[in-house]
Amino acid sequence: MSPTVTASRVATLVAGFDRSPAYEGLAAALRLAIGDGRVPYGARLPSERDLTGVLAVSRTTVTRAYALLVEQGYAAARRGAGTFAQVPGGPARARDRALTPRPTRAVPRADGRGDAGGLGVSGDDDLVDLVCAACPAPPGIAEAYAAAADELPGYLGGHGYFPTALPQLAEAIAARYEADGLPTTPDQVVVTAGALAGTAIAATALLRTGDRALVDNPVYPNAVHALRRAGARIATAPVGREGWDLDAYVAAVRQAAPRVAYVIPDFQNPTGHLLGTADRERLAETLRRAHVVPLVDESLRHLRLDLAAADLPPAFATFAPDAVSVGSASKVLWGGLRLGWMRLPSASVAATVEARLGLDLGAPVLEQLVLARLLADPTAEDAQRERMRAQRDHLVAALRRHLPAWRFEVPRGGLVLWCELPVPVASRLADEAERLGVAIAAGPQFATGGGLDHFVRLPWTRPPHELDLAVQRLAAAWDRVTGGADEDTGARRGGEGTVLVA
């Protein structure tokens, strides 16, 4: 069943549209709302009569606006059924970049040796990867591995399987939640092979085939894939320039009746928004009343760059005791650890572990010993936050210098900028940018139903000299794309299959 967008909702989205002439202004405002996902792909637009009354325009204005949307590929008219939102090229305009196999490529050296200034067609030796939003390892990782290796002989006499966690790591993670103001016992902790694995385990435990899962739009695409693999049908709620539209979220809960809501309240991926305390409480209450289980991704929570720990809003589970929270060492420490965790309501632990055993039998012992050491000493995380803060500011300055027409809000944490382009050419830009030696993730990759071609996601996780080179190449690609060239670049087009980013 297609979602329906009410006339009053459309009136809010198109408020202040250009009325000279009105039908073109209305079509342009609707096109933008469809393109950036505020009107979901496939949604039924309000009837011409209803929209005419709410907007106080003539029926002819709405008729011509809808006809223009159809002509431009942003709507489809179905006889007897209505007009439905779509995007040119269909819902599969995601991109198969990032964690898919590709040649290993080195970047130019920081000392300037090599073709650091070259902006021509890239070779295999100088691609700057701005798709993967993950940090290099912080200082102290190698030492933690060496110390953990000294502990390892004490475990070699056993079978090595820990379906929940090593006791000392469970204690360290529980203490982390306690320090965050959320009472937690070690037996509520299950260690996983990353936050995505935790999401997949939770989805397997909570969902049955055909259940609905509500996600943000835009959203981290790997999580959507995990939910779908568990049998979920996906419904969406919009996250816009100002953050979560809670009125629309409440409406989506009522309309979709989901079993699970996947939420990233802390420096949301990809937008970087931070959900405030009052909004967390309202959202949690909405989900509680509708009997929806919150599946809360806190992978980025501890990458607070401009906030003290005490200034973060409370953890979402503070307001939602039934929430399943997933965390990760990959973002704040290093992806090579391949470790994350779940914080579960005590009553859910047994069923979740049972579901987990159908997917894997536990996390590696050595890495668990390493992570227990790293969590006991804040030095590594402090160093990572300091480095990411400096690189964020460096990327912001470079973009403002070379691409001043791009719009973005500087997030107070996380790892990425969500940049809005003046025109919807993100997919073409990604193609051209890769030809010039920089890989980026275009907005459609984060849209569950198409659209978002006004946006690109740029992480600041590479060193400053790579960020400089990447932005220079992006500026050159932008000039080419907006200079009128409209040929097919020949790059890969995504399909309905797996789309992986980090």
Average pLDDT in the chain: 89
- Render pLDDT for 15-44 as a digit per residue (tens, 0 to 9): 989 998 999 999 999 988 887 667 877 889
Rounded Cα gap, residues 81 and 74, in angstroms: 17
For residue 125, the model assigns a pLDDT of 53
pLDDT of 284 over the 90 cut: yes
CA triple 369-370-374, angle to 5 deg: 120
- Render pLDDT for 484-493 as a digit per residue (tens, 0 to 9): 444 443 333 3
pLDDT of 131 over the 90 cut: yes
For residue 293, the model assigns a pLDDT of 98
**Cα-based distances in Å from 262 to 214, 215, 448:** 6, 5, 13
What's the one-letter identity of residue 70?
Answer: V
Residues in the chain: 502
pLDDT of 351 over the 90 cut: yes
Q: CB within 8 A of 51, min separation 6: which ones? A: 7, 10, 11, 45, 62
- 3-state SS, residue 228: helix
For residue 42, the model assigns a pLDDT of 83
Parse the chain into domains and list their residue ranges.
7-85, 128-136+380-485, 141-377
* Single pTM value for the model: 0.82
Quickly state the pLDDT bin for 119 (edges 50, 70, 90): low
For residue 318, the model assigns a pLDDT of 98
Rounded Cα gap, residues 301 and 312, in angstroms: 9
**407 HSE (CA, 13 A, CB side):** 8
Interval 93-112 mean pLDDT: 43
Quickly state the pLDDT bin for 1 (edges 50, 70, 90): low
Interval 452-480 mean pLDDT: 96
pLDDT of 311 over the 90 cut: yes
For residue 108, the model assigns a pLDDT of 45
Is domain 141-377 given the CATH code 1.10.357.20 in the classification? Answer: no
**Cα-based distances in Å from 187 to 198, 345, 346, 357:** 16, 10, 8, 17
For residue 80, the model assigns a pLDDT of 86
Chain centroid to Cα 111, Å, comes to 34
Is domain 128-136+380-485 given the CATH code 3.40.50.300 in the classification? Answer: no
Interval 148-168 mean pLDDT: 95
For residue 91, the model assigns a pLDDT of 55
Lowest mean pLDDT among 24-33, 187-196, 259-268, 284-293: 24-33
pLDDT of 249 over the 80 cut: yes
Beta strand 438-442 pairing with 455-459:
antiparallel
Percent of the chain with pLDDT over 90: 76
Number of neighbours of residue 367 by Cβ within 10 angstroms: 21
* Of 271, 281, 347, 348, residue with least CA distance to 317: 281
CA triple 302-307-313, angle to 5 deg: 70
Interval 59-63 mean pLDDT: 95
For residue 99, the model assigns a pLDDT of 52
pLDDT of 114 over the 60 cut: no
Q: Which helix (H) or strand (E) holds 386?
A: helix 379-402
- Render pLDDT for 71-82 as a digit per residue (tens, 0 to 9): 999 999 998 889
For residue 491, the model assigns a pLDDT of 37
CA triple 26-442-392, angle to 5 deg: 110
97 or 418: whose pLDDT is higher?
418
**Cα-based distances in Å from 284 to 200, 219, 349:** 22, 19, 21
* Of 221, 212, 199, residue with least CA distance to 356: 199
* Of 194, 156, 94, residue with least CA distance to 427: 94
Beta strand 212-217 pairing with 260-263:
parallel
For residue 54, the model assigns a pLDDT of 93
363, 329 in Cβ contact below 8 A? no
Lowest mean pLDDT among 45-54, 78-87, 359-368: 78-87
For residue 113, the model assigns a pLDDT of 42
For residue 486, the model assigns a pLDDT of 41
- Render pLDDT for 183-242 as a digit per residue (tens, 0 to 9): 999 999 999 999 999 999 999 999 999 999 999 999 999 999 999 999 999 999 999 989
Rounded Cα gap, residues 467 and 388, in angstroms: 12
Q: Which helix (H) or strand (E) holds 225?
A: helix 221-229
Is domain 7-85 given the CATH code 1.10.10.10 in the classification? Answer: yes
Rounded Cα gap, residues 240 and 244, in angstroms: 6
Tell me which DSSP letter residue 300 carries.
T
